[in-house]
Amino acid sequence: MRQALAEAGLAAAGGDVPVGAVVLAPDGTTVLARAHNERELTGDPTAHAEVLALRRAAQELSTAARSASGKGGGGRRVGEWRLTGCTLVVTLEPCTMCAGALVQSRVDRVVYGARDEKAGAAGSLWDVIRDRRLNHRPEVISGVLTEECATQLTRFFRETDFGPRPTMG
């Protein structure tokens, strides 16, 4: 979670809501990918930390499989997008978009810090990740370094003018 908090700090420095994410390999210690919110930086409404981290982790696994394929294996296929066995660690409870991406990516577990009572989809407002109607339900571990995660977010919103953008007209 500390690495995810460091990523969140990068988001804040760039003017984005400070959310950071890290994807751990199935061994639980190797970091496959890191990301932070980049919506303001890129103008992409889907550039949430979780989505970016999932994309980068899948790319890393595919690249590793490509390298290993010439050496007789590696356990994963080239182009493999499933993050089976992986863990996503994120500073804020995932929203519905990110929860859907987490289910689709087949991660085994999601670890998050601060709850999001307004948009959380891992137990607060909704529970998309553990919805029994879906084909995959990752384990959810909440409340890891909650105070540190929440403080970073609270500080950001107090110190910035992050309200609605003015419309042109």
Binding residue numbers: 48, 95, 98
Nearest 10 degrees: Cα torsion 41, 45, 50, 54: -90
Residue 117 is among the residues annotated as catalytic for this protein: no
7, 38, 40, 50: the catalytic one is 50
Which residues belong to the annotated binding site for Zn(2+)? 48, 95, 98
CB atoms within 10 A of CB 167: 5
**CA distances for 51 relative to 93, 112, 155, 168, angstroms:** 13, 14, 24, 30
Helices 2-13 and 49-69 cross at an angle (nearest 10°) of 120
- The set of catalytic residues is 50
